[in-house]
């Protein structure tokens, strides 16, 4: 059979396995092993475990379970609720300050935990009820938290970026730095939308009150004394210092990513023990169980995805696909658009981890040939994958919100997230026209790429 035929059958077999309901890791592994048995030497089946081990033998991947431990420690304490309360106390005078506080809380918590679902759960469990209590519509409240949670895969430390750095063979520190500018851009866009949407809902509530005397909680004004505002800081500042210290250790060259991940995990455990009294075995058991469960699931997906990519490469499927894309001689921006559309479509069905590991062998060679900055593209791709977290049919964050706030109809949650999808599209366009938003900081801190 020709390479084209093998490639088509490989793709079809993958779709069949995934739509059968089989877990993603087992689906990818099963397809890879079957095609190894059919098209590769019989002896290759004896080396499946060796191939998976060799593909995963990366010191960078070691940081993933350690970052997950840090996220689980922070996510299963009251750190998220305290962070949200502190920001609300300081931003309550801003129109829509409660919504803006949730955006900033999501951003800071995402940077500390590195997990999108953990951010949605931790901030949403406190933020959504508070917004609903103060008259915010269910869709607006859900959309803010769902979109804010997506920052977990863009702001460092991001597990998704770790995998992209491994797949693209790029500096993880440079990639982390490149995500800070776009992350702040998205936070600003989300915050501005929160203010504008609040003004609209406030005006509607005010009109309803003037017309028929129907009052709404959104018209009430919160007041915090200076003492109350300062009283909420002691529990928050240590975690912000933890985030700052870990980032300084990483970017200052004092420690490797795996070392900073280990340090962050241990310090997070120490902080929740000192601040929240979480130190007994019964308290730590859920944190460690969650870490092992999530790490095992993620590493299994990574291992099977890498085996899947290895088979694709051995059968020359990825090389032929890359050559075919190059042979189309698309203008570079049309090439980028076609690749991003592919990522969006895959985002309908697959999580970011699988998208990166499955597509990297195919899409990176044409992008390099078109002289795109791969670090910059990694940020663009991450934002596009963020959209997949808040739009159906998969929309992981949508279902996390449904668990946190089951009283909000799914339809309202989806409509509440759509404006944020449009804002992310706008951010991608801005980054295409002004790539320095992403590239300036890594070039400043680490020097231009290839200069050393």
Q: Where are the domains of the chain?
A: 17-39+46-446
pLDDT value, residue 393: 66
> Mean of the pLDDT values across residues 34-63?
76
pLDDT tens digits for range 344-370: 877 776 778 778 877 888 888 889 988
Following CA atoms 405, 389, 76, 245 in sequence, which dihedral angle do they give, to the nearest 10 degrees? Answer: -140
> In this model, does residue 376 exceed pLDDT 80?
yes
pLDDT value, residue 261: 82
For residue 367, say if its preceding peptide bond is cis, omega within 30 degrees of 0: no
User: How confident is the prediction for the chain on average, in pLDDT?
Assistant: 83
128 vs 60, more confident: 128
pLDDT tens digits for range 71-100: 788 877 787 778 877 887 888 778 778 888
For residue 157, say if its preceding peptide bond is cis, omega within 30 degrees of 0: yes
**Phi-psi label, residue 391: left if phi above 0, alpha if psi -120 to 50, beta otherwise:** beta
**Residue 241 tokens, joined:** 């210092």
CA distances from 230 to 235, 274, 277 (A): 11, 20, 22
396 vs 35, more confident: 35
pLDDT value, residue 452: 42
Q: Tell me the C-alpha distance between 230 and 62, whole Å.
A: 39
Task: Return the closest-CA partner of residue 62 out of 295, 267, 354, 242.
Answer: 295
Q: What percentage of the chain reaches a pLDDT higher than 70?
A: 96
Rounded to two decimals, what is the model's pTM? 0.82
Q: Tell me the C-alpha distance between 38 and 27, whole Å.
A: 17
> Mean of the pLDDT values across residues 266-291?
87
**Residue 306 tokens, joined:** 């890498």
Helices 79-91 and 63-75 cross at an angle (nearest 10°) of 70
Q: Cite the DSSP H helix spans in 114-225.
A: 116-133, 138-149, 159-168, 172-212
What string of DSSP letters covers 193-235? HHHHHHHHHHHHHHHHHHHH----GGG------HHHHHHTSTT
């Amino acid at each position: 059979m020709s390479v084209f035929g093998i490639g088509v059958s490989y793709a079809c077999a993958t779709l069949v396995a995934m739509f059968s309901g089989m877990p993603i890791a087992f689906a990818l592994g099963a397809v890879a092993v079957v095609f190894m048995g059919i098209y590769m030497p019989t002896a290759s089946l004896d080396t499946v475990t060796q191939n998976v081990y060799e593909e995963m033998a990366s010191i960078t991947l070691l940081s993933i379970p350690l970052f997950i431990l840090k996220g689980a420690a922070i996510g299963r304490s009251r750190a998220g609720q305290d962070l949200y309360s502190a920001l609300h106390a300081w931003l309550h005078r801003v129109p829509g300050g409660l919504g803006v506080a949730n955006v900033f809380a999501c951003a800071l918590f995402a940077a500390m935990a590195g997990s999108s679902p953990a951010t949605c759960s931790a901030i949403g469990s406190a933020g959504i009820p508070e917004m609903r209590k103060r008259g915010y519509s269910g869709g607006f409240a859900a959309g803010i938290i769902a979109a804010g949670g997506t920052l977990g895969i863009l702001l460092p430390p991001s597990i998704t970026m770790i995998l992209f750095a491994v797949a693209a063979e790029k500096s993880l520190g440079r990639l982390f730095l490149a995500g800070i500018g776009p992350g702040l851009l998205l936070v600003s866009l989300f915050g501005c939308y929160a203010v504008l949407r609040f003004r609209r809902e406030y005006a509607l509530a005010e009109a309803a009150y003037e017309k028929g005397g129907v009052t709404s909680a959104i018209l009430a004004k919160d007041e915090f004394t200076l003492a109350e505002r300062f009283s909420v800081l002691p529990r928050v500042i240590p975690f912000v210092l933890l985030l700052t210290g870990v980032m300084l250790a990483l970017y200052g060259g004092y420690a490797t990513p795996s070392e900073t991940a280990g340090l962050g995990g241990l310090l997070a455990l120490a902080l929740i023990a000192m601040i929240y009294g979480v130190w007994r075995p019964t308290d730590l058991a859920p944190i460690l169980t969650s870490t092992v469960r999530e790490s095992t699931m993620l590493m299994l997906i990574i291992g099977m995805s890498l085996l899947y990519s290895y088979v694709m490469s051995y059968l020359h499927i990825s090389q032929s696909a890359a050559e075919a894309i190059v042979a189309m001689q698309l203008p570079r921006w049309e090439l980028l658009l076609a690749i991003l559309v592919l990522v969006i479509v895959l985002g309908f069905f697959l999580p970011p981890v699988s998208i990166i590991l499955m597509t990297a062998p195919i899409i990176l060679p044409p992008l390099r040939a078109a002289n795109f900055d791969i670090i910059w593209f990694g940020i663009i791709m991450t934002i596009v994958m963020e959209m997949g977290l808040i739009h159906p049919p998969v929309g992981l964050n949508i279902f996390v919100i449904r668990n946190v706030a089951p009283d909000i109809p799914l339809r309202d949650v989806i409509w509440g997230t759509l404006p944020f999808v449009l804002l992310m599209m706008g951010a991608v366009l801005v980054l295409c026209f002004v790539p320095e938003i992403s590239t300036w900081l890594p070039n400043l801190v680490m020097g231009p790429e290839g200069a050393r």
